């Protein structure tokens, strides 16, 4: 690894001019300057194309691609990754931000770990959550394996690591109706080994309520994603399906299982703790919409 490797950042965007501008500036304003930001405009109809074109003229580190019609965030992410040229890669959503030292801290931690003989597959960071004026922080595990991702997405929505590890894992599955990050990151960890946590909240995650958030999607879409992931990675193991069903009915989504969901869970086999947790979800009040 060269002393100052190029770090590529991929970002999809669609019709979020104000938050997208802040996201772009948070990358171009990093203390680590050798960055490349690849933004794919997924068919925006607001002023996004004009602003991106002008900003790219001002700073050649910003590369802009465009879809005339929306093809979905995963298609946009995949195109950005394929167009990236850095030795290292990470992502940013268009309504989130990097703190100024985010990339510098990740590279420094990567160099520290590898100099000590540790070989993580990827890194992930803590989040600073924001909703209006409120601020709070995540508490992620220090080391995450692929198997741990079956019980919960312990790494979040972004990873940092060598670009070839993203490409070799096959990129995002554009047919997944939900859990796109979870499923792709599972493949990366399965292929390349555990990831490690940089225990700093250098990623600002906007969790203000919004209709297009994954947590606002229908129960049927999340259940379908669970079924697709099980078909790809479950290896006919009933306990894996039970773990993933507990994710579907976690507090994050607020979905309440019905009797059909309970029967599907129970036919996977006896698991005392799992049955107890599923019954607790069944007895709780449904989330208010």
pLDDT band at 208 (very low <50, low <70, confident <90, very high): confident
Quote the pLDDT of residue 217: 65
In sequence order, what are the residues at sequence separation of 6 or more whose Cβ sits closer than 8 angstroms to the Cβ of residue 244?
150, 226, 229, 230, 234
Q: Which residue has the higher pLDDT, 61 or 253?
A: 61
Q: What is the pTM of this model?
A: 0.94
Model confidence pLDDT, tens digit, residues 23-71: 999 999 999 999 999 999 999 999 999 999 999 999 999 999 999 999 9
Mean pLDDT (whole number) for 81-109? 98
Quote the pLDDT of residue 212: 56
| Residue 216 pLDDT greater than 60, yes or no | no
| Residue 1 pLDDT greater than 70, yes or no | no
Mean pLDDT (whole number) for 227-238? 96
pLDDT band at 2 (very low <50, low <70, confident <90, very high): low
Mean pLDDT (whole number) for 191-195? 98
């Amino acid at each position: 690894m060269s002393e100052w490797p190029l770090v590529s950042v991929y970002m999809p965007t669609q019709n979020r001019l104000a938050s997208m501008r802040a996201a772009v500036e948070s990358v171009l304003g990093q203390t680590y300057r050798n960055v490349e930001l690849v933004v794919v405009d997924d068919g925006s109809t607001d002023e996004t194309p004009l602003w991106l074109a002008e900003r790219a003229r001002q700073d050649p580190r910003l590369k802009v691609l465009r879809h005339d019609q929306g093809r979905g965030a995963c298609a946009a992410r995949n195109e950005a990754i394929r167009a990236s040229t850095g030795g290292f890669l990470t992502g940013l959503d268009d309504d989130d931000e990097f703190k100024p030292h985010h990339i510098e801290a990740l590279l420094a931690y990567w160099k520290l770990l590898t100099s000590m003989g540790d070989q993580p597959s990827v890194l992930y960071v803590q989040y600073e959550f924001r909703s209006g004026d409120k601020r709070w922080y995540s508490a992620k595990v220090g080391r995450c394996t692929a198997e741990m991702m079956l019980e919960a997405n312990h790494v979040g929505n972004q990873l940092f690591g060598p670009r070839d590890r993203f490409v070799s894992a096959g990129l995002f599955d554009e047919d997944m109706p939900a859990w796109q990050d979870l499923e792709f990151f599972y493949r990366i960890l399965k292929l390349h080994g555990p990831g490690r946590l940089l225990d700093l909240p250098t990623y600002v995650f906007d969790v203000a309520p919004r209709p297009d958030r994954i947590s606002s999607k229908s129960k049927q879409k999340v259940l379908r994603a669970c079924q697709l992931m099980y078909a790809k990675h479950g290896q006919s193991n009933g306990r894996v399906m039970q773990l993933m069903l507990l994710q579907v009915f976690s507090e994050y989504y607020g979905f309440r299982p019905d009797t059909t969901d309970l029967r599907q869970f129970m036919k996977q086999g006896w698991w005392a703790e799992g049955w107890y947790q599923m019954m607790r979800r069944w007895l709780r009040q449904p989330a208010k919409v």
